[in-house]
């Protein structure tokens, strides 16, 4: 089939190559002229036979909205736009309504596969009317992995990106579990080779997965992950998953905790933990990990010495406090 592809970055560029290897004619457009086949969206549309199919692979949000709106002015009745980026499903519904006014079809497609997709294929989750999906089906069949699975017509417009959103939410939770297990294994003295423990899990265990394979690859490259900063962004889809769960009264505690862990990773010094430390000091006289005063001494544990009043308040007290007066719990 003939296909227009807008956005030729890491994903889009590899998708163009896989489609061409599959025998399709792909006209690509990108703002970078070094990788673009044409100079504008108008030239891309002009180069395609009718009915035209244009696949959009640009960043979600305003970039996608602007591209879809421009295509709406360039395409004609019977043509189809595919959004293969990480758009929110609510944007899909708005885009479909906009294009429907001119008789242009719309298909949303969640794409998973990353930099490995060129060789391994891409997992595809798409939504839209059956007639519109049929016009894109040859491209779906080429992009998907070999075998029975890897692609699904998930439902109506928005279903593809909603499914991909939930996929990414699950991904957050799985990665967080592997990460926490790795940290615990590294912490104890009795485990001599954490990388080999992870490698052993790749066969015969119920937690084997491609993410586990990639974790082992990372540990082979950098066994202690010393060169990597403990800072993780979120693409937005984890947040959307939690928001959708709230809207539908569905409990997703593991996904939510994994999302919040990423927020914590971006803090050099947690304001919330400062507040907790302050309250523990107030009710129980527990030590505050503060820097020493200028020119002053520090206690043997590297902390600034507490005031005499704080020392008296904390005398003989444990976590909840057990000195004179009623017992105080940490609540």
Catalytic one of 52, 135, 164, 237: 164
Residue 325 counted as domain residue: no
Task: Please give the residue range of the domain that contains residue 183.
Answer: 164-265
Domain-ending residue, one of 265, 284, 313: 265
The answer on 126 and 213 residing in a single domain is: no
State how far the Cα of 242 lies from the Cα of 237, in Å rounded to an integer. 9
Same domain, 113 and 210: no
157, 176, 207 - which closes a domain: 157
Is there a single domain that holds both residue 21 and residue 108? yes
Residues 133 and 59 placed together within one structural domain of the fold: yes
Same domain, yes or no, for 11 and 97?
yes
d(CA 153, CA 126): 5
Q: Which of 102, 171, 187, 308 is catalytic?
A: 171
**Number of domains forming the structure of the chain:** 2
Which residues make Cβ contacts (< 8 Å) with residue 245, sequence separation at least 6? 251, 252, 255, 256
Q: Are residues 132 and 177 in the same domain?
A: no
Q: Provide the CATH number for the domain around residue 88.
A: 3.40.50.720
286 assigned to some structural domain: no
Question: 104 with 178, same domain?
Answer: no
> Is 73 among the residues known to form the active site?
no
CA atoms of 125 and 159, how far apart (whole Å): 8
Question: Within this chain, do residues 130 and 251 fall inside the same structural domain, yes or no?
Answer: no
Asked if the structure places residue 253 within a domain, the reply is yes
Instruction: Quote the tokens at residue 277.
Output: 């430390």
Task: Tell me, yes or no, whether 43 and 127 share the same domain.
Answer: yes
Q: Are residues 110 and 56 in the same domain?
A: yes
153 shares a domain with 46: yes
Residue 176 lies in a domain: yes
Residues 141 and 186 in one domain: no
Could you tell me if residue 27 is inside a domain? yes
pLDDT tens track of the chain, all 331 residues?
999 999 999 899 999 999 999 999 999 999 999 999 999 999 999 999 999 999 999 999 999 999 999 999 999 999 999 999 999 999 999 999 999 999 999 999 999 988 889 999 999 999 999 999 999 999 999 999 999 999 999 999 999 999 999 999 999 999 999 999 999 999 999 999 999 999 999 999 999 999 999 999 999 999 889 888 888 888 788 999 999 999 999 999 999 999 999 998 998 888 888 887 888 888 877 777 766 666 655 444 444 444 444 444 444 444 444 333 333 344 4
Domain boundary among 125, 142, 157: 157
Does the active-site annotation cover 144? Answer: no
Judge whether 236 lies within some domain: yes
Global pTM reads: 0.82
| Separation between Cα atoms, residue 68 and residue 71, nearest integer Å | 5
Q: Which residues contact 8 (CB under 8 A, 6 or more apart)?
A: 16, 28, 29, 30, 32, 35, 36, 57
Residue 330 lies in a domain: no
183 in a domain, yes or no? yes
pLDDT of residue 320: 44
CATH number at residue 219: 1.10.1040.10
């Amino acid at each position: 089939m003939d296909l227009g592809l807008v956005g030729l970055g890491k994903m889009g560029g590899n998708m163009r190559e896989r489609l061409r290897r599959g025998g399709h004619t792909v006209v690509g457009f990108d703002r970078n002229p070094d990788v673009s086949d044409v100079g504008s969206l108008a030239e891309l549309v002009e180069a395609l036979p009718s009915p035209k199919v244009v696949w959009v692979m640009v960043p979600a949000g305003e970039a996608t909205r602007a591209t879809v709106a421009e295509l709406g002015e360039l395409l004609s009745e019977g043509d189809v736009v595919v959004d293969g980026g990480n758009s929110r499903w609510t944007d899909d519904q708005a885009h479909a309504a906009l294009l429907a006014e001119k008789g242009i079809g719309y298909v949303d497609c969640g794409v998973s596969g990353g930099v490995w997709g060129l060789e391994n294929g891409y997992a595809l989750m798409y939504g839209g009317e059956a007639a519109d999906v049929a016009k894109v089906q040859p491209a779906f069949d080429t992009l998907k992995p070999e075998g029975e699975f890897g692609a699904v017509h998930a439902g109506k417009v928005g279903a593809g990106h909603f499914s991909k959103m939930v996929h990414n939410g699950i991904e957050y939770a799985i990665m967080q579990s592997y990460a926490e297990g790795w940290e615990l294994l590294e912490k104890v003295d009795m485990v001599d080779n954490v990388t080999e423990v992870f490698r052993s899990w790749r066969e015969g265990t119920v937690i084997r997965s491609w993410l586990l394979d990639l974790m082992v690859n990372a540990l082979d490259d950098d066994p202690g992950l010393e060169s990597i900063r403990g800072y993780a962004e979120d693409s937005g889809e984890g947040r959307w998953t939690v928001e959708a769960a709230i809207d539908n009264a569905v409990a997703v505690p593991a996904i939510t905790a994994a999302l919040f862990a990423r927020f914590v990773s971006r803090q050099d010094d947690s304001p919330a933990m400062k507040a907790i430390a302050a309250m523990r000091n107030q009710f129980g006289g527990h030590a505050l990990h503060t820097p020493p005063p200028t020119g002053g001494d520090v206690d043997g544990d590297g902390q600034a010495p507490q005031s005499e009043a704080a020392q008296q308040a904390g005398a003989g007290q444990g976590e909840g406090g057990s000195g004179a007066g009623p017992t105080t719990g940490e609540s």
